[in-house]
């Protein structure tokens, strides 16, 4: 029996903690210009994409992440036409963004083209044709450079990055958030994956401090993805209009119904509830303030 042993908490961070998956079949492995990619099959989670030994997404639980990364900001905004995705090479966020009839353009900026190519070929269910949608524009670039140099503006910026290790580290920097702010139209919203508070509390505190220096309203909302091991995953939220975080359940419900989208994790009730944080997470901000 062969096992995949994740290195996120047992490698350099040495937290002495590891999750592992039985591998029933190695589907593909490649060393790209930037990182090691692996796709393998598992009994419990279907196909898994790992980058540098760290789980990125799995066939069975990806919906809990991609739906909450996308529908919370787009339904809160209510009229998103242009969306910027930084990272997200597996295509799951792009798929969910393009389900919104209001979206006219979705730009995906991925540093490693191999992630897109491998995901399209070996995990096609993730993008589900999104890369072929005429509204999708794929840019192979460092997201940090793109937001600095691009003159484009967007209603929503979604930072679907790896953890702050290697190329992903730049996507948690103050400079990056400042430049993302420049890319946002009035009423715009930025969301970013900010780690698992139980095991990566520093990641969340850093996101809070850095986003807080740049945006008027910063918060976090929660989702749960079993293979982002350690309990809740915190998604960072930043905008310059606090009202965007307090849309009534009636308006959320109406807007959601108008999209006609059917989801397995997102609902207007979950949208509202996701912002209610347990004290052990909320207190991370008190320490960071
Ligand atoms: N959902 C996953 C998570 O929460 O860990 C992330 C999935 S997605 C595969 C992460 C992507 O970020 C990878 O494809 C990686 O190549 C990309 N990435 C890392 N650093 C980047 C950068 N500086 N600019 C653009 N993309 C980057």
- Domain segments of the chain: what residues? 2-58, 62-288
> Regarding the domain delimited by 2-58, which CATH topology (the fold level of the hierarchy) does it fall under?
Spermidine Synthase; Chain: A, domain 2 (2.30.140)
Residue 66 has pLDDT above 90, yes or no: yes
Tell me: the pLDDT tens digits for 157-208?
Answer: 999 999 988 889 999 999 999 999 999 999 999 999 999 999 999 999 999 9
Ligand 1, from 30, 90, 93, 111: best to mutate by most atoms within 8 Å of Cβ? 111
Ligand 1 touching residue 223 (CB < 6 A): no
Is the separation of the CB atoms in 45 and 21 below 8 Å?
yes
Strands 184-193 and 154-160, sheet pairing: parallel
Query: Ligand 1, atom 16: nearest CA belongs to which residue?
Result: 112
Ligand 1 touching residue 193 (CB < 6 A): yes
Is the separation of the CB atoms in 62 and 235 below 8 Å?
no
Residue 286 has pLDDT above 80, yes or no: no
Ligand 1 touching residue 114 (CB < 6 A): no
Mean pLDDT confidence for 62-70: 98
Domain 62-288, CATH = 3.40.50.150
Q: Using pLDDT thresholds of 50, 70 and 90, give the confidence band for residue 287.
A: low
115 Cα: distance to centroid of ligand 1 (angstroms): 9
Ligand 1 touching residue 112 (CB < 6 A): yes
Q: Do domains 2-58 and 62-288 have the same CATH topology?
A: no
> Catalytic residue at 240?
no
Q: How far apart are CA 244 and CA 252, in angstroms?
A: 11
40 Cα: distance to centroid of ligand 1 (angstroms): 18
Is the separation of the CB atoms in 245 and 219 below 8 Å?
yes
Q: Using pLDDT thresholds of 50, 70 and 90, give the confidence band for residue 273.
A: very high
Closest residue by Cα to residue 164 from 154, 178, 176:
176
pLDDT of residue 288: 58
Q: Using pLDDT thresholds of 50, 70 and 90, give the confidence band for residue 281.
A: very high
């Amino acid at each position: 029996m062969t096992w995949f042993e994740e290195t996120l908490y047992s490698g350099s961070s040495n937290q002495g903690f590891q999750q592992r998956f039985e591998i029933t079949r190695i589907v593909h492995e490649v060393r790209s210009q930037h990182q090691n990619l692996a796709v393998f099959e598992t009994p419990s989670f279907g196909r898994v994409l790992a980058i540098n030994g760290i789980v990125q997404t799995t066939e069975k639980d990806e919906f809990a992440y991609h739906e909450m990364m996308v529908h919370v900001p787009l339904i809160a905004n209510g009229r998103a036409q242009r969306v910027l995705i930084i990272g997200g090479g597996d295509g799951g966020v792009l798929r969910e963004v393009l389900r919104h009839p209001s979206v006219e353009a979705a730009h995906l900026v991925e540093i490693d083209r191999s992630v897109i190519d491998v995901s399209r070929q070996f995990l096609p269910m993730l993008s589900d044709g999104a890369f072929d949608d005429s509204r999708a524009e794929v840019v192979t670039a460092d997201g940090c450079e793109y937001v600095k140099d691009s003159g484009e503006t967007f209603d929503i910026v979604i930072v679907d990055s790896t953890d702050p290790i290697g190329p992903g580290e730049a996507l948690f920097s103050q400079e990056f958030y400042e430049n993302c702010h420049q890319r946002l139209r009035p009423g715009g919203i930025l969301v970013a994956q900010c780690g698992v508070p139980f095991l990566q509390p520093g990641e969340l505190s850093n996101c809070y401090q850095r986003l807080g220096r740049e945006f008027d309203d910063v918060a976090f909302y929660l989702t749960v993805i079993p293979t982002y091991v350690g309990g809740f995953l915190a998604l960072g939220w930043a905008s310059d209009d606090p009202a965007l975080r307090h849309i009534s359940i009636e308006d959320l419900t109406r807007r959601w119904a108008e999209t006609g989208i059917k989801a397995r994790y997102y609902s207007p009730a979950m949208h509202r509830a996701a912002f209610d944080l347990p004290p052990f997470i909320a207190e991370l901000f008190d320490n960071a303030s």
